[in-house]
Structure 1
Amino acid sequence: MKPHDMGVLFDECAAQRMGTQVHLDRPFTIGADARTHYTLPQLAALVRDAAGWLTAAGAGPGDRVAIVKDNHWDYDLLACAAVRVGAVPAQLSAHLSGEVLRTLLARLAPALLVTTAQVLERGRREGADLAAAARATLVLDGALPGTLGLDDVRGRTAPGPHRRHDDEPLVIHHTSGTTGVPKLVVHSTRTIIGKLARFESARLPRIGLRRSDTLVNASAFAHGRTFCWTASALSMGPAAISIITTQDPNLADPALRAHPPTVLEALPASFVRFQPLTEGLDNPFRRVRLVISTYDAMHPPTVRAYLRASRHHSPVWLEGWGQTETGPLTFRFHTRRSVHRTSSGTGTRNLGRPVPVKTRLRVVDPDTLRPLPRGRAGLVLARTAARALGYVGEEDRWSAKRHGNWWNTGDIGVRNRDGSIDLLDREVDRTPRLSCLRTEDLLETRLPQALECVVLAEPGRDPLPVVVTADGALDRARWKEAVRDLPPLREPVALTWDQVPRTGTGKVRRGELLHRLTGRSDTSGSGRWT
């Protein structure tokens, strides 16, 4: 089946008698009990129940419903419930600070805020009364003064599914927020389901989902990627879906071993954190035939580790590059053979070619916006029918990134002779002497003890390298050998994983990290297209 109406997605999948079994590494926040196993009919019933709660709390057609909670797949169940009653869900990560959440809620002006006591209490500690931004607040794990609890809304039967036009607002997601307050991106059924999820639902050779697959997803479930993934994954009816909500390898390992994946999708940060689990013959990734990564390009050592861990005769790593505003723009396949060639340091920054028939890309001069010849670095513009409808409360910012039918990604890249794109840097993070991203690839290849390398550009000074290791220590002799043939870099800073500021998807907040280390936050780029 092909997905369309997210309000009845779970009902339609259940009616198709799909036998998909869903396993959770911990219970849902919205579950009535502590279960960690669901069938599709049980999930459909939970979405219908949630739609009744939202109706009882006052949400209806055209209203915005903001959802802020701990990371779990029930973000998407609540979003589908909101769609069912005609509302527009806005999924906001609880990883955001109270100040940022207050700003986003002020832009949304939601009729209903669906959240937890922990989120509200943390907001108040940070000086943000989040409940004040909404007409009503539903607290999922209890009730606080002036709010509703689940006991106040249970038992209400939701009205029949509300139908909306394919071009009306369907869902709102925020961008990663690496450079400041995230943007609120509005998608319609046509853009995020019709143009993205339905395309992803095709049963393509090697990379298409099979009915025999065990699909594991370790993601940030407040973000747009998982809303689209929910539509495509459920409609293809794999044998099992396993949800992992943690980046702690010790907590993830039991869930991975209980349901070993044949198809694995995760955040880049999760791949890095889980990498120690790839070692050993009994590793939980030995059945993997397909790995899917989005959000950020992966460094070569991590890609090699997972492909090497699989016992499948020819596992594939599918890397997609895109943005919340556009969905996937390019894709690239890595195999054991192809990623072995990156051991010399060529990296994985070639993001592949535009999605056939779906997207077009061009590289332009950042100052004049005139097209550049292949091989010249410039701003990457994209053209796709999946482009979102706009930003909530920031119409001027949206207009500034539009150039007719083209969208300014804010990324610096090079178009190669074969049509593929090499990603060099975000425009705001670039430095004239080197590509920070390519340098990070080289450093991670040459420093096996590094969990992650980050090169920060600071105006008027050599770039500042940050090396993330398990214990925050760095062998200086190995460092000198690693940078022997690179452009000048400053003395490295060694940090642990938890010392690095990150977004809810695990991306490094480069500007904040630079400010912590140097006291400066200005960048070499203009930042006009962030």
Structure 2
Amino acid sequence: MTTLTRTEEPFEALPRPGTLLDAFERTVGLRPDRTAVRSHDGRLAYTWAELADRVAAATAGFVAAGVTRGDKVALLVRNRPEFYVVDLALVRIGAVPFSLYASSSPEQHAYALADSGAVGIVVDPALQRGLEGVDLPVLRVQIEGEPAPGWRSLADVVDAGAGTAIDALPRPEPDDVATMIYTSGTTGAPKGVLLSHQNLLTCAEATLTTQGIAAGTVTISWLPSAHVGDRLGGYALPLYQGLEVVTLDDPRQVVAAVVDVRPGYFYGPPRIFEKLRASFDSWVLGLEPDRAEEVRAALRRGQERVEVEQAGGTPSPELREATQHDRTGVFRPWLESVGLDRLRTCVVATAPNPGPLMSFFHVLGVPMGEAYGSTESSGGGTAATPGAIRIGTVGTVSTHMELRLLDDGEVLLRGPQIMKGYHGRPEATAAAVDADGWLHTGDLGSLDADGHLSIVGRKKEIIISSSGKNISPVTVESAVLSASPFIGQMCCVGDGRPYTVALVVLDAEYARGWARQQGRGELSLEELSRDPEVLAQVEAGVAAGNARLNRPEQVKRFRVVPGEWLPGAELTPTSKMRRSVILDKYADLIEEMYA
């Protein structure tokens, strides 16, 4: 394992800058020789001063190429240091850079380019094939390599701009659009969400001050830059506070990257942490019996402490001392082996997070909190404050924001983080943000007496059974997923049906680890999905989950389907479930469960 030496810096709350450009220039002045961004593979790294030099050169190049204030420019670029050069250069001009998902189809790329009116596109050569047959803007730039016919290299654009004056360029204003992020399009055609500099910076300020993220903290940019999670956590926060960003160009390798990087700040959807939890269970399976029992005893002690703290009590000095020893001793080898030993801030967002998963990481001493927001709210809305995390909630309303619930439970947000609107869609904007400035999120929630928000589902995803019972699929899935390490993913079905059924996908890592421990390591994941012993374990998990649910919610039948659900197919690029895709794919199997 690579040994890293880092100097822990104290958190300092910096004044909120007016624009992303102001934030960038301030950080360059404060930390010129510190690392700004580096690639996980070690290929490239920039200090803040080096990044500033490259941004200035690229700015001149894009000006010479004809890009002007307000122009939309598409970026189909993996997470890599060059992204920051291009994006910040366009921001300096006052243009509007927006990212395309690498997993999108050519038809989806064509839609975004046409809808945005993009004047240019910048691509990573590895993703260029995804543009075959697409009508492209005139300005076409490749990040590296020999340019294809009709394309220019970024180096050529930069060289052609040498000598072009940029000092007189008008500076962006706080209310100017800084970026556009397209929605997933699961409920209709994708819409371009227009986010201003102040939208992003007020959200960044709230996150930094709530979480106490210090300058120099290392984080990983791994979510697609087309997602608000990375636009905030991997871009706005680092520019504002001077974080060190490690870029990962293959998000499928994020768990391995965490091992190498050992971040101080990490953010992501629950699926990543479910994989880590499965890794822990596999680790325990491989221990000698006495050592495994020591770990299980430590887990029991830790769970006792978490339950006392969550109930508002104070653990006894003996319990605190014992569990602190467990965290720094018993659990330490595993925490080091998966790269979580230097974690100071951990935020789970973008998808529902089962409470038992949170409890598990709190037992280990991992400072895991939840946050809630949407693209339309710049990724912000609520957040858990370290030291006051209430498991099962997504925290309290963020700094500068207001929150209210309608009578049907829909969550409304208002504040400076709310988008400027949808690009070219005034009617859709008016439908999403009412005349009083409230964003209607479409999410259903509840508030406890202390203002902690719990999200119970999506308004449009609520299942109404044939007997008229309202069922939140998220509630059902969370209860069952947390009941068995064998269950990796699950989709609850039951709209208009007499009872609830489920499609289940095995947790690949845990199932394979179990098979090896049983001396059956030769079994494939598909074979394991049909194995009677595995099915019995899944059935026990479903039964345990059902015990936490009321009768209409309980899963009456289930089927284990082979393989894994992956981003770009059954999942969105950020691992949210595409229910309509899953329901279509397994329509026959679903009908079989109701036969």
Q: TM class by shorter-chain length?
A: 0.7 to 0.9
Are positions 1:199 and 2:202 aligned together? Answer: no
Q: Check whether the contact 1:267–1:294 (CA below 8 A) recurs between aligned residues.
A: yes
Are positions 1:298 and 2:353 aligned together? Answer: yes
The 2-side partners of 1:129 and 1:462 are apart by 45
Q: CA deviation at 1:212?
A: 6.0
SS at match of 2:463: coil
Picking from 418, 423, 430, the partner of 2:462 is 430
Q: Check whether the contact 1:219–1:267 (CA below 8 A) recurs between aligned residues.
A: no
SS at match of 2:376: coil
| C-alpha spacing 1:337/1:93, structure 2 compared with 1 (3 Å) | closer
Are positions 1:47 and 2:37 aligned together? Answer: no
Q: In structure 1, give the amino acid aligned to 2:239.
A: L
Q: CA deviation at 1:196?
A: 1.7
| C-alpha spacing 1:17/1:140, structure 2 compared with 1 (3 Å) | closer
Q: In structure 2, give the amino acid aligned to 1:261.
A: P
Once the two structures are superposed, the pairs formed by residues 488-503 of structure 1 within 5 Å of their partners are 488-489=554-555, 490-498=557-565, 501-503=570-572
SS at match of 1:228: helix
Once the two structures are superposed, the pairs formed by residues 167-246 of structure 1 within 5 Å of their partners are 167-193=175-201, 195-202=202-209, 207-211=211-215, 213-229=217-233, 230-238=235-243, 240-246=244-250
The 2-side partners of 1:463 and 1:76 are apart by 47
Picking from 315, 320, 323, the partner of 2:374 is 323
Are positions 1:479 and 2:538 aligned together? Answer: yes
Structure 2 unpaired stretches of 5+: 1-13, 284-332, 509-524, 591-595
Q: Check whether the contact 1:65–1:110 (CA below 8 A) recurs between aligned residues.
A: yes
Q: CA deviation at 1:275?
A: 4.4
Q: What percentage of aligned pairs have identical amino acids?
A: 22
SS at match of 1:187: strand
Q: Check whether the contact 2:65–2:157 (CA below 8 A) recurs between aligned residues.
A: yes
Are positions 1:136 and 2:139 aligned together? Answer: yes
Q: Check whether the contact 1:58–1:111 (CA below 8 A) recurs between aligned residues.
A: no
Deviation track 1:379-401 (CA, whole Å, cap 9, x = no partner) reads 22222222111111332222222
The 2-side partners of 1:121 and 1:98 are apart by 9
Q: CA deviation at 1:456?
A: 3.7
Q: Check whether the contact 1:425–1:435 (CA below 8 A) recurs between aligned residues.
A: yes
Once the two structures are superposed, the pairs formed by residues 425-464 of structure 1 within 5 Å of their partners are 425-432=457-464, 433=469, 434-460=471-497, 462-464=499-501
Give the aligned partner of residue 57 of structure 1: 65
Q: In structure 2, give the amino acid aligned to 1:94.
A: A
TM-score, with normalisation over the residues of structure 2?
0.72
Q: Check whether the contact 1:185–1:391 (CA below 8 A) recurs between aligned residues.
A: yes
Deviation track 1:42-101 (CA, whole Å, cap 9, x = no partner) reads 222222233233223321112111112234464444221101112111222222222112
Once the two structures are superposed, the pairs formed by residues 35-434 of structure 1 within 5 Å of their partners are 35-72=43-80, 74-124=82-132, 128-131=133-136, 134-141=137-144, 142-155=146-159, 156-157=161-162, 159-160=166-167, 161-193=169-201, 195-202=202-209, 207-211=211-215, 213-229=217-233, 230-238=235-243, 240-249=244-253, 252-253=255-256, 255-276=257-278, 279=283, 280-281=333-334, 282-283=336-337, 284-309=339-364, 315-327=366-378, 328-333=380-385, 339=391, 348=392, 350-356=393-399, 358-364=400-406, 372=407, 377-404=408-435, 405-432=437-464, 433=469, 434=471
The 1-side partners of 2:388 and 2:19 are apart by 39
The 2-side partners of 1:212 and 1:10 are apart by 14
| C-alpha spacing 1:25/1:498, structure 2 compared with 1 (3 Å) | farther
SS at match of 1:93: coil
Q: Check whether the contact 2:39–2:247 (CA below 8 A) recurs between aligned residues.
A: yes
Give the aligned partner of residue 31 of structure 1: none
Q: In structure 2, give the amino acid aligned to 1:352.
A: G
| C-alpha spacing 1:518/1:307, structure 2 compared with 1 (3 Å) | same
Q: Check whether the contact 2:432–2:440 (CA below 8 A) recurs between aligned residues.
A: yes
Q: In structure 2, give the amino acid aligned to 1:226.
A: D
The 1-side partners of 2:216 and 2:355 are apart by 29
Q: Check whether the contact 1:266–1:293 (CA below 8 A) recurs between aligned residues.
A: yes
Give the aligned partner of residue 342 of structure 1: none
The 1-side partners of 2:125 and 2:343 are apart by 39
Q: CA deviation at 1:35?
A: 2.9
The 2-side partners of 1:495 and 1:425 are apart by 27
Q: In structure 2, give the amino acid aligned to 1:270.
A: I
Q: Structure 1 or 2: larger strand share?
A: 1
SS at match of 2:110: helix
The 2-side partners of 1:294 and 1:460 are apart by 31
The 1-side partners of 2:205 and 2:449 are apart by 31
The 1-side partners of 2:562 and 2:499 are apart by 19
Structure 1 unpaired stretches of 5+: 28-33, 340-347, 365-371, 522-530
| C-alpha spacing 1:271/1:177, structure 2 compared with 1 (3 Å) | farther
Q: Check whether the contact 1:173–1:222 (CA below 8 A) recurs between aligned residues.
A: yes
Q: In structure 2, give the amino acid aligned to 1:355.
A: S
Q: CA deviation at 1:306?
A: 4.1
The 1-side partners of 2:415 and 2:586 are apart by 39
The 1-side partners of 2:275 and 2:56 are apart by 36
Q: CA deviation at 1:276?
A: 4.9
Q: Check whether the contact 1:285–1:309 (CA below 8 A) recurs between aligned residues.
A: no
Give the aligned partner of residue 575 of structure 2: 506
Give the aligned partner of residue 21 of structure 1: 35
| C-alpha spacing 1:491/1:381, structure 2 compared with 1 (3 Å) | same
| C-alpha spacing 1:218/1:129, structure 2 compared with 1 (3 Å) | closer
Q: CA deviation at 1:38?
A: 2.5
Q: Check whether the contact 2:94–2:171 (CA below 8 A) recurs between aligned residues.
A: yes
Picking from 571, 578, 586, the partner of 1:517 is 586
SS at match of 1:497: coil
Q: Check whether the contact 2:78–2:249 (CA below 8 A) recurs between aligned residues.
A: no
The 2-side partners of 1:383 and 1:23 are apart by 33
Q: CA deviation at 1:363?
A: 2.3
Q: CA deviation at 1:8?
A: 5.4
**16-25 or 444-453, which moves further after superposition?**
16-25
SS at match of 2:226: coil
The 2-side partners of 1:257 and 1:400 are apart by 44
Q: CA deviation at 1:208?
A: 0.5
| C-alpha spacing 1:436/1:76, structure 2 compared with 1 (3 Å) | farther
| C-alpha spacing 1:88/1:290, structure 2 compared with 1 (3 Å) | same
Q: In structure 2, give the amino acid aligned to 1:492.
A: R
| C-alpha spacing 1:305/1:468, structure 2 compared with 1 (3 Å) | farther
SS at match of 1:106: helix
Deviation track 1:483-517 (CA, whole Å, cap 9, x = no partner) reads 35443534234343345522222222111111111
SS at match of 1:409: strand
The 2-side partners of 1:163 and 1:509 are apart by 41
Q: CA deviation at 1:40?
A: 1.3
Q: CA deviation at 1:20?
A: 3.4
The 2-side partners of 1:305 and 1:22 are apart by 33
The 2-side partners of 1:351 and 1:252 are apart by 23
**179-188 or 440-449, which moves further after superposition?**
179-188
TM-score, with normalisation over the residues of structure 1?
0.81
The 1-side partners of 2:80 and 2:503 are apart by 31
The 1-side partners of 2:538 and 2:575 are apart by 25
Deviation track 1:295-325 (CA, whole Å, cap 9, x = no partner) reads 2232235434544555xxxx42121101111
SS at match of 1:261: coil
RMSD: 3.1
| C-alpha spacing 1:213/1:116, structure 2 compared with 1 (3 Å) | closer
The 2-side partners of 1:516 and 1:267 are apart by 24
